[in-house]
Amino acid sequence: MERTLVLLKPDAVRRGLVGEVLRRVEAKGYRIVALSMREADAETLGAHYAEHAEKPFFAGVVAYMSSGPLVALVLEGQRVVEGFRSLAGATDPTVAAPGTIRGDLARDWGTPEIQNLVHGSDSPESAAREIAIWFPSF
């Protein structure tokens, strides 16, 4: 059974959308096997976004992701990496399709960083690396 990491970003928590996102995940039939609400520290975010450390947007992403509590979860299911990314929708919420999390619930707020509610691992390999960062004892 495949696993993926999902982060409900600070904007999702701030806007009270945690329950709605979790409802959609469960309605899709994926199993939540780990869940934690926490404040993300610079070390964890640095490890998570390590491939972007030298990019100009890195500091802004770390600031946004540490701006409030987030919810980290591990989902399990057949083709869950691909399935959750489809459920999340396009990264840019303005063009995300209706019916997706971002298409229905996110929008452009005019901030330097895209506030698009959720993160989902982009491959099984990334999922394994990211799960180890957020749930080291899992």
Distance (Å, whole) CA 55 – CA 22? 31
Catalytic site residue 119?
yes
- For β-strands 118-120 and 70-77, DSSP reports them as unpaired
One-letter amino acid at 129 equals: R
Reported in sequence order, the residue ranges of 9-117 that DSSP labels E, i.e. its strands, are: 31-38, 70-77
Distance (Å, whole) CA 117 – CA 81? 17
Distance (Å, whole) CA 30 – CA 68? 26
Which of the following is catalytic: 119, 120, 130, 131? 119
* Catalytic residue ranges: 119
